[in-house]
Amino acid sequence: DKKGPVNKGPCPNQDIVDQLTELKRLHETKLGDGNSWRVYTYSRVIPAIRAHPTRITTLEEARKIPRVGDKTAMKIMEIVNTGKLTRIAYERTDDVKAIEAFMGIYGVGINVAHRWYAQGCRTLDDIKARKNGIKLSEPQEIGLKFYDDINSRMPRQEAQDIFDLIKPIALDIDPRLEVEIMGSFRRGKADCGDIDIMITRPTDDGRTHGGVLRYLLHELRKRGIVTEDLCVPEDWDDLELVYRGLCRKDSGSRRRRIDFLAVPYESRGAARLYYTEQGDDIFNRSMRLKANKMGYSLNQRGLYHGVVRNPSNRLEKLEKGQILASKTEREIFDILGVPWQEPHERAR
Ligand code: DCP
Ligand code: MG
Ligand code: MN
C-alpha cells in the first residue's frame, strides 16, 4: 500500500500496546542479559497488535494476530478484561527501580546505570555520596544536581515564554536568522520535556549562520537564560550543530532542558520533519520506514535515493546517494506519497 497514510493516532488496542511497551521497557532495564529474547519478542509483537484494525475482544481473536502466542494472548485478555497487567508491577523489582532512578540522571544510560548497580549503588544518595568510588562526568554532575528539574516537564506556556526571550536576542544578532521551536512543542503538546530550537539562515546574500550559535549562547548566558552546558559542539563554525544545555525563564524559575539545532538552509525541510517526530517510538517513525520501503533513505539532511549501506554495519554508507528533497516538508511528503499531516497530527 504505497499511497495509504502512515500509521498515526491511537489504535483500537492502544491500552494493550502501551502496557506491553511498558513491560518491554522493564525487561530492557532489568539486570542480566537473560531478558533480551523477551525484549526482542515484544518488539516484534507490539507493532503487530498496533496494526490490528479492530478492538480485540476474545482470546481466539488475539491468538490470530501474527506473532501473538499463547502467553501474549493471555496478557492481552487480562488487559481487555481488567484494564490492567499485573505482570508490570511484578517486574518492577528493586533493581529495576534503582536503575530507573540512575537513568533519570542526564547522561546516564543503561550501561552506566547497570555498572553503578553492580558496584553496589542502590539509591540516588549512594550516587551523591559517590559510593564505592564511582565517578560522574560533568554532564552527569549537572544531571544529578538538577535531577528534579530535568525530570519534570514544563507547561507549554513556559516553553513559549522562554522562546519569546530568546528569539529577539537571536534576531538582534542577525535579523535574517530563522528561529523556530520544534519537538513536542511544534506537535502542539500541552507540556514539553525540553525546548528544541532550530536555527538556520538563507544564504542568498552570501552569508550563513556559521558562528551565530556560539555568540547567541554567549548572550543567553550573560542574561542568565542559559545556565549550564551539557553537550557543546566541537566545531562552532559548522552549519550543522547540536547544543544541549539548561535554561530558565528568570532567577526564580526551575531549570529546563534546552536544545539548539543549527541546520544548513537547504536541508531545513528535512530537519523540520526530523526534529518534529515523536522520537520515543521507533515503530512510529513511519516516514522513514516508508522511505526505506521505497528504496529511499530519510534523515535530518534530506530524502536520498541510491544510498548503499554496508550490510555488516548499517551505519556506514558505501554510496552517499543523490538528494531528492530537503528544502520543505511538503516535497518530502509528496515524493513519499504520504498525505500531508500537520505537526500536531504526527504523534501516535
Ligand atoms: N530526535 C530524533 N532522534 C533522536 C533524538 C531526537 O529524531 N535521537 C528528534 C525527534 C524529536 C526531536 O528530535 O521530535 C526532539 O527530541 P526530544 O528528545 O526533545 O523529544 P520531543 O521534543 O519530541 O519530546 P519532549 O517533550 O520529551 O522533549
Ligand atoms: Mg523536546
Ligand atoms: Mn530535545
Q: What is the ipTM of this complex?
A: 0.95
| CA 278 – ligand 1 centroid, Å | 6
Residue in 314, 317, 292, 311 with CA at minimum distance from that of residue 303: 292
Q: Is the CB of 196 under 6 A from ligand 1?
A: yes
Residues 185-201 have a mean pLDDT of 97
Q: Is the CB of 277 under 6 A from ligand 1?
A: yes
| CA 199 – ligand 3 centroid, Å | 14
Residues 238-261 have a mean pLDDT of 98
- 8 and 286 Cβ atoms separated by less than 8 Å: yes
Taking residue 228's Cβ as centre, other Cβ atoms within 10 Å add up to 20
Q: Report d(CA 123, CA 117) in Å as an integer.
A: 9
Q: Report d(CA 273, CA 346) in Å as an integer.
A: 10
Share of the chain above pLDDT 70, in %: 95
- 184 and 248 Cβ atoms separated by less than 8 Å: no
33: pLDDT strictly greater than 80: no
| CA 264 – ligand 2 centroid, Å | 20
- Integer Rg of the chain from CA: 22
Asked which of 216-220, 288-292, 327-331, 334-338 is least confident by mean pLDDT, the reply is: 288-292
Burial class (CB in 10 A: 0-12, 13-18, 19+), 47: middle
Q: Report d(CA 182, CA 195) in Å as an integer.
A: 8
- 240 and 254 Cβ atoms separated by less than 8 Å: no
Please confirm, yes or no, whether 84 is among the known catalytic residues: no
- Residue found under cell 550501561: 111
Q: Is the CB of 192 under 6 A from ligand 1?
A: yes
Provide the pLDDT for residue 313. 87
Q: Report d(CA 221, CA 68) in Å as an integer.
A: 53
Q: Is the CB of 183 under 6 A from ligand 1?
A: yes
pLDDT tens readout for residues 150-180: 999 999 999 999 999 999 999 999 999 999 9
pTM comes to 0.89
- Residue found under cell 539548561: 246
Q: Which of 192, 277, 299 to mutate to test the pocket of ligand 1 (most atoms within 8 A of CB)?
A: 277
Residues 62-81 have a mean pLDDT of 97
- Residue found under cell 543503561: 110
Residue in 98, 86, 102 with CA at minimum distance from that of residue 22: 86
Q: What are phi and psi of 262, to 5 degrees?
A: -90, 135
